[in-house]
């Protein structure tokens, strides 16, 4: 019952209640008719038998009876008890066969039995008609209750249905849709709508705060970054030895990377789920070259072989900032989670793959690692478990696809499809 839709539950309850009440009434009517019949008729027949015994039989006269009544006695010739009335109890009896119906009133005196029999087919027919009417009334009241219950249930829960629909169809849930509560009276449904509005408001606020935080941080980082970049530029022009100028070069490259990241985060913070993918002017190969220059030294520092393999050419123009972030996160993970062997970056016509010979990810973990703050059991270093979730979000925004699968060699492969 508790799994049924609300309307059906109300209808079932309503109908059941009506059936119980009208069933009780119908049974009551039948019982009262029976009781009155037995009581009145037996009283009347008792008096009639008294009068026959005292006024007629006691004086040796033939009993005086009306057309519908007959007398039988155990010891009077000509008044023998018929077979179908033998064996009844003393007092009031009803004998009903298919074609006939009688009231039989019996009195037992010492050694004598008297039966007064009254034909009652007409009354029985009326009684049956009454019972049929009562039964029809019972069925009809059940039907009416079902219909009425259905109409009432629909009317009563109409606001609830409307609210459920509005809540379900709030695709623009987190954008500025108007509040629901003013549409409803201040009853339970109104309270529900108000509670929903409030929760949604809180959710909107916290999302807003998060967005502002990201954009504020990104925004505020720009100024110090510009200072670092211009200072590094100034240093470059100063007379430096070889070691000094290579350090300045590194600072400049890192600053450029951070600036690019800051731009990426700003873009992502401004974008919402409906906004279009950001277009760009870099190719996959250019970005892969840059990332190789950046990561190859670190792989060799760790004693890992690194290869960039161009399997097929891809000339599509892509947003290089976002693509760099995706690629560098995957390369950083490959570096972190591979103890020995090699890491390969493969470029194809549809995108790229990062393959490693590391420890891999267990199949039950594979769905989870893309969620924020999820790290595997073999997490290393100071990561937060945000890398892959950022990759996933960037890919979702750019309509790219990222998936991970295990390689037969126990390593893992992260594949990004760019078209």
> Which residues contact ligand ATP by CB under 6 A?
333-334, 337, 356, 358-361, 369, 374-376, 378-379, 383-389, 412
Neighbours of 160 (CB within 10 A): 16
Angstrom CA distances, 409 to 213, 233, 348, 361, 392, stand at 43, 47, 21, 12, 25
Confirm or reject binding of residue 358 to Mg ion (CB under 5 A).
no
d(CA 315, CA 313) in angstroms, rounded, equals 6
Confirm or reject binding of residue 387 to Mg ion (CB under 5 A).
yes
Q: Which option in ligand ATP, Mg ion, none does residue 359 bind, with CB closer than 5 to 8 A by kind?
A: ligand ATP
In the complex, least distance from residue 340 CB atom to Mg ion, rounded to whole angstroms:
19
b or e along 118-137 (b: 16 or more beta carbons within 10 Å of the residue's beta carbon)?
bebeeebeebeeeeeebeee
- Of 149 and 358, nearer to ligand ATP (C-beta) is 358
Q: Which option in ligand ATP, Mg ion, none does residue 358 bind, with CB closer than 5 to 8 A by kind?
A: ligand ATP
- Of 324 and 333, nearer to Mg ion (C-beta) is 333
Residue ranges in 367-386 that form contacts with Mg ion under rule CB under 5 A:
383
CB 227 within 8 A of CB 176: no
Binding-site size, Mg ion (CB under 5 A): 3
From 15, 333, 338, 398, residue interacting with Mg ion (rule: CB under 5 A): 333
In the complex, least distance from residue 362 CB atom to ligand ATP, rounded to whole angstroms:
9
Q: Which option in Mg ion, ligand ATP, none does residue 149 bind, with CB closer than 5 to 8 A by kind?
A: none
- Of 126 and 380, nearer to ligand ATP (C-beta) is 380
- Of 372 and 383, nearer to Mg ion (C-beta) is 383
Report residue 49 as tokens. Answer: 């038998």
Q: Which option in Mg ion, ligand ATP, none does residue 337 bind, with CB closer than 5 to 8 A by kind?
A: ligand ATP
- Of 277 and 385, nearer to ligand ATP (C-beta) is 385
Give the strand order in the sheet containing 351-356.
305-310, 342-347, 351-356, 412-417, 401-406
Q: Which option in Mg ion, ligand ATP, none does residue 378 bind, with CB closer than 5 to 8 A by kind?
A: ligand ATP
Report residue 354 as tokens. Answer: 């990062």
- Of 45 and 334, nearer to ligand ATP (C-beta) is 334
Q: What is the dihedral of CA 99, 105, 108, 111, to 10 degrees?
A: -50
Evaluate the CA torsion angle 314, 315, 319, 321 in order and state its sign.
positive
Confirm or reject binding of residue 360 to Mg ion (CB under 5 A).
no
Neighbours of 104 (CB within 10 A): 19
Q: Which option in Mg ion, ligand ATP, none does residue 139 bind, with CB closer than 5 to 8 A by kind?
A: none
Angstrom CA distances, 359 to 63, 296, 332, 340, stand at 117, 20, 15, 10
> Where on the chain is the footprint of Mg ion (CB under 5 A)?
333, 383, 387
């Amino acid at each position: 019952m508790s799994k049924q839709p609300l309307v059906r539950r109300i209808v079932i309850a309503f109908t059941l209640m009506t059936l119980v009440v009208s069933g009780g009434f119908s049974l009551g009517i039948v019982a009262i008719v029976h009781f009155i019949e037995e009581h009145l008729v037996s009283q009347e027949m008792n008096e009639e038998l008294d009068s026959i015994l005292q006024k007629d039989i006691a004086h040796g006269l033939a009993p005086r009876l009306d057309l519908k009544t007959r007398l039988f006695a155990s010891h009077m010739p000509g008044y023998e008890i018929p077979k179908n009335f033998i064996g009844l109890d003393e007092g009031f009896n009803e004998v009903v066969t298919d074609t006939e119906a009688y009231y039989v009133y019996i009195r037992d005196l010492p050694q004598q039995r008297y039966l007064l029999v009254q034909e009652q087919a007409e009354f029985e027919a009326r009684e049956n008609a009454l019972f049929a009417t009562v039964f029809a009334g019972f069925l009809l009241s059940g039907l009416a209750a079902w219909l009425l219950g259905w109409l009432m249930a629909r009317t009563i829960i109409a606001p609830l249905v409307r609210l459920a629909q509005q809540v379900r169809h709030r695709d623009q849930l987190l954008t500025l849709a108007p509040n629901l509560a003013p549409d409803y009276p201040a009853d339970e449904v109104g309270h529900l709508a108000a509670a929903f509005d409030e929760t949604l408001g809180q959710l909107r606020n916290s999302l807003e705060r998060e967005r502002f935080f990201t954009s504020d941080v990104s925004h505020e980082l720009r100024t110090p970054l510009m200072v670092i970049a211009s200072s590094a530029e100034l240093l470059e022009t100063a007379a430096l030895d070889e070691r000094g100028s290579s350090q300045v070069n590194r600072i400049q490259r890192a600053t450029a990377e951070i600036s690019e990241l800051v731009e990426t985060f700003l873009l992502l913070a401004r974008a919402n789920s409906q906004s279009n993918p950001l277009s760009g002017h870099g190719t996959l190969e250019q970005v892969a070259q840059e990332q190789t220059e950046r990561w190859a030294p670190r792989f060799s520092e760790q004693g890992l072989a690194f290869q960039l393999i161009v399997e097929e050419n891809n000339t599509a123009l892509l947003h290089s900032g976002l693509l760099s972030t995706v690629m560098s996160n995957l390369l950083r993970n490959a570096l972190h989670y591979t103890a020995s062997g090699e890491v390969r970056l493969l470029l194809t016509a549809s995108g790229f793959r990062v393959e490693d010979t590391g420890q891999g990810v267990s199949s039950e973990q594979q769905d989870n690692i893309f969620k924020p703050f999820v790290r595997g059991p073999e997490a290393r270093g100071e990561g937060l478990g945000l890398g892959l979730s950022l990759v996933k979000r960037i890919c979702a925004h750019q309509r790219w696809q990222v998936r991970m699968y295990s390689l037969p060699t126990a390593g893992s492969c992260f594949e990004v499809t760019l078209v």
